[in-house]
Structure 1
Amino acid sequence: MRVLIVHNQLWAHYKSKLFSEIDRAMKQADPLDELLVAQIALYEASRKVMQNDNTVIYDYPYKVLFERALDQVTLAERRTALFRIFNEYRPDVLNITGYFDWAQVLLMFYARWKGVKVVISSESSSADHNRSAWKEWVKKVIVKRAHAFFCFGKTSAEYLESLGVKRDAIKVRNAAVIDEQLIRQRYDEAKASQGGVATGNAAPKKFVYVGRLAPEKNLQTLIRAFTRAVDHTGAHWQLLFVGDGPDRAELQKLVEESGVAGKVVFAGGFPWYQVPGWLAQSDVLVLPSQSEPWGLVVNEAMVCGMPVIVSETCGCAGDLVRNGVNGFTFNHSQQQELEKHLVYFIQNPGRIGEMGRESLKLVAPFASGPVAGQMARTYRELAGGHRRV
């Protein structure tokens, strides 16, 4: 059996972890099975900094079609290169990563004509973007040509079902994976290094936000809610921002005007593998975004055993957050809801450890190894155990 996965960019650390696990699972089932990941380009413009990331191990068979930015590769170039590698490799199963790239969509139709089974990996949900009737109709036509689907989580699966995909065709509903072993290792190491640092009442507890400082992240609402929460309770909690972006100066100004400058810390931006060190200094993760296809930082916090507060418009909320169990969800436009949840943790610090342990249970189904195993089994089922000679 030969499987060809088409992916946008090589420099995507969690995808590399997933592809490595898929390759391992396939080889364990049958050493003669083959995987090839066709990476269209090296990076997207927003991920160019990953060229200096030495922590990512590309431990799977891949080929980079264009050694430049994805943004610089034209549709015609993508189409020609993808058709070429498809015909050279002659896969039994083709896995495209979305229906947003017409080069991949055309390849999918060609694969169907050639009798090759097709899988679509989808991260989209109904809340991602404004939808139009004609675009939804086009998507319905596209998804009808696939044999199986891999989804990030509940919201992306429900969106596919709204497009007419049969429930049993969605073979994986928990594909939002991270490198949970590395994240937890780095977190534990950071915690251990804090052994000599004062703890308990001497160290203020922290809410933490990790991500871009941008308008869609709804961070002004977070600052206002935090200000009211600490004013109401007189608490010595802090709010930590890990990340950078265009709204930083405006957010810092709001902090000053709100009178909480001594309680809010802007740490700046850091590469993904340093984030666990900041989580280790924190107690509760908050993701207040207006729109978020998923929110992998929630996975990261949860594998570190942290409670989370997540807006309902984040794709991960339906899968990973249970109100009152491991955290809370809230309407991103309702500041008072967020304030209430912040106050809850301030007034009930004894529940942080208990709720963090529940986070570990809830995120367990999203472990990269088992998810990759589900994907490998799907490929074999579609290929009918076909073996080339």
Structure 2
Amino acid sequence: MKVLFLTNIPSPYRIDFFNELGKRCELTVWFQARNESNREWEIEGLGRHFRYQFLKGRTFGLDKHLNLSILRELNAEPFDAYIMGCYSSPTEMLAIHWLKLRRKPFILNSDGGFPGNDRWLQRKLKTYLISSAALWLSSGSSCTRYLEHYGAAADRIREYPLSSTVLSGEELQPLAPEEKAELKRKGNLEGVVLLAVGQFIPRKGLDVLLRAFAKLQRELPEGKASLLLIGGGPEEARYEEIIREEGIRGVTIKRFLQKNELLPYWKLADAFVLPTRYDVWGLVFNEAAAFGLPIVTTDRAGAAGDLVRDGENGFVVPAEDTEELARALRRLAEDIDLRQQFSRRSREISELYSMDRMVDAHAAILEGWRTEREVASREHLYLDS
């Protein structure tokens, strides 16, 4: 089965996924760009088990790609299944319109979203693009609600477990006590270590986290908890200003780290927290759960309700609510039994979001798609005869 997947850039988790899916079908991936200005990933394994091509074009702003060459490429080679990785870039809009005009059914993949207060024209455009698909791939309950809001047929939505990384047993092995103690010493970290990993941009809500941590510190004995922020970005100076204004102690800030550099910090942490203002999913939650961390996030994370379950493996608090966030962090900092309970549950949930399960789900969906197309083709021939 010849499958085309159109996506933005070769992110690490997508490459892992494409290589595995490429073992199950004849997969071709078209990338709209090699990178985006807010990404610093190192990519390994590109094209190991799939064909790929970087479309000629330009990128505007952070992530809006225009690849007029896609029209030539679509005309040049037919596929049995067309999967649009999203719908929001000019290139994806062109591809969707081209497919729709030629009555070529396609699958729309979405990692998630939250319906907003769209202007009339924006709402009409989203509805046109999303509802044009014949089948929808959804990362979970939040994404499904989003797709339905913009015209997707509920009975044509297929949810799959979104996985972000492949971790070996060795990589998941915990640190030895002496290694953990040394890493804490080097990082000036004490007590319960709260970890946040994400770009230092307003959307991630790390300013809210700092203010909640300041409140937590005033309520706990000195040295009871520390905070480690990893990510880098334009808001770093603002975070340092908040730390000075609030007189916060025990905060360590590190810039962007690659996957192998992050590993010891996942193992060092006692809990993961990301009070995002908006994340269509939040791939860092997959990693946090894989390492068995209790997770604290907000109701504006797409993973909330699926991978992050309030009261089971963490807490989901309202976005921008410093008081509720501080309360959730305090419960985890003070209660080791609760942290251990949430840790076990995170690992259990993480097993449901493995790369193997993600690939199996897509392979089954594509097999169903092929069967549907074959039946439709036979019925068309029968009606014409």
TM-score under structure 2 normalisation? 0.86
More displaced 10-residue stretch of structure 1: 215-224 or 106-115: 106-115
- Measure, in 1, the Cα distance between the counterparts of 2:274 and 2:49: 33
Aligned residues: 367
2:107 — aligned with what?
Answer: 119
Tell me if structure 2 keeps the 8 A contact 1:290–1:311: yes
State how 1:280-319 maps to structure 2 within 5 Å: 280-319=267-306
Letter in 1 for 2:93: V
- Measure, in 1, the Cα distance between the counterparts of 2:47 and 2:13: 11
- Measure, in 2, the Cα distance between the counterparts of 1:114 and 1:276: 48
C-alpha spacing 1:60/1:132, structure 2 compared with 1 (3 Å): farther
| Partner residue of 1:100 out of 56, 68, 88 | 88
Question: Residue 209 of structure 2 aligns to a residue in which SS?
Answer: helix
| Partner residue of 1:64 out of 38, 44, 53 | 53
Question: Residue 32 of structure 2 aligns to a residue in which SS?
Answer: strand
Q: How big is each residue's C-alpha offset from its partner over 1:200-230, in whole Å with a ceiling of 9 and x where there is no partner?
A: x996220111112222222222122112212
Tell me if structure 1 keeps the 8 A contact 2:108–2:133: yes
Question: Residue 18 of structure 1 aligns to a residue in which SS?
Answer: helix
C-alpha spacing 1:108/1:241, structure 2 compared with 1 (3 Å): same
C-alpha spacing 1:74/1:286, structure 2 compared with 1 (3 Å): closer
1:186 — aligned with what?
Answer: 171
Tell me if structure 2 keeps the 8 A contact 1:228–1:339: yes
Q: Does 1:89 align with 2:77?
A: yes
2:36 — aligned with what?
Answer: 44
Question: Residue 79 of structure 2 aligns to a residue in which SS?
Answer: coil
| Partner residue of 1:277 out of 264, 269, 273 | 264
Greater fraction of residues in helix = 1
C-alpha spacing 1:158/1:369, structure 2 compared with 1 (3 Å): same
Q: Does 1:337 align with 2:329?
A: no
2:15 — aligned with what?
Answer: 16
Q: Does 1:177 align with 2:169?
A: no
How far is the alpha carbon of 1:180 from its aligned partner? 3.4
1:243 — aligned with what?
Answer: 231
How far is the alpha carbon of 1:253 from its aligned partner? 2.6
More displaced 10-residue stretch of structure 1: 114-123 or 367-376: 114-123
Tell me if structure 2 keeps the 8 A contact 1:44–1:71: no
Of structures 1 and 2, the one scoring higher in RCO (CA 8 A, sep 6+) is: 1
- Measure, in 2, the Cα distance between the counterparts of 1:288 and 1:35: 37
Q: How big is each residue's C-alpha offset from its partner over 1:319-366, in whole Å with a ceiling of 9 and x where there is no partner?
A: 122222111011122211011111101220222122111012223332
Tell me if structure 1 keeps the 8 A contact 2:225–2:333: yes
C-alpha spacing 1:353/1:331, structure 2 compared with 1 (3 Å): same
1:29 — aligned with what?
Answer: none
Question: Residue 376 of structure 1 aligns to a residue in which SS?
Answer: helix
| Partner residue of 2:154 out of 167, 170, 177 | 167
For structure 2, the 5+ residue unaligned runs are 375-385
How far is the alpha carbon of 1:114 from its aligned partner? 4.4
Tell me if structure 1 keeps the 8 A contact 2:175–2:264: no
For structure 1, the 5+ residue unaligned runs are 27-33
The sequence identity of aligned pairs, in percent, is 21
C-alpha spacing 1:111/1:320, structure 2 compared with 1 (3 Å): same
How far is the alpha carbon of 1:162 from its aligned partner? 1.3
- Measure, in 2, the Cα distance between the counterparts of 1:275 and 1:151: 28
- Measure, in 2, the Cα distance between the counterparts of 1:365 and 1:208: 23
Letter in 1 for 2:171: R
1:35 — aligned with what?
Answer: 27
Tell me if structure 2 keeps the 8 A contact 1:43–1:70: no
- Measure, in 2, the Cα distance between the counterparts of 1:196 and 1:383: 52
C-alpha spacing 1:69/1:283, structure 2 compared with 1 (3 Å): farther
Letter in 1 for 2:51: Y
How far is the alpha carbon of 1:286 from its aligned partner? 0.5
Letter in 2 for 1:301: A
Letter in 2 for 1:227: A
